[in-house]
Structure 1
Amino acid sequence: MNITERATDKSWPRRHPRTIVCYTLSMSMHDDFSVVVKNRADPPRPWRWEIYRAGRRSPIAHSKEFFATVSEANRAGNTALRRMLSEYP
């Protein structure tokens, strides 16, 4: 299923309603990794990023700190993913 089909398929992905998925599409050699932002705490700073690898149910990394907004957490998660992938070319 490609990205366009996913966008039109209402049943995909089936996730908890407090989960916001931010896929990383620009990693050509590492497209089996994704950054997911999840609401894991109470306000005012409930958001945390998690990095997943295809085929795994649990994250391979996550933020130790929590963020006030989804975009803040997503930016930090993408930075962490780029840093992690640069260590393993």
Structure 2
Amino acid sequence: MPALLVVAALAALTVAGVALYRLHQLRRALIAERASARIAGRMQARDLDAFRRRVAELMQERAVLAEAERVLDTALATHRPEGGPS
């Protein structure tokens, strides 16, 4: 009878040890997943900021070109009236 109790105790200890080890693995996986999500979020924010900066630069370039075209059109209109010789 005592041998049966020893075997049962060892089996219970083994099951508890495996369960604790699996819990430890799951906690480590959760920590890694959270870290990965934080990194991905920061990278997305960084990329979005870079995209917004590039769009702002392009809009400024477009505004400068539009203003230059307007000035050129005005200058050409004053020096060459519509319908006149080219």
Larger strand proportion of the pair: 1
Larger radius of gyration: 2
- Give the TM-score category using the shorter length: under 0.3
Larger helix proportion of the pair: 2
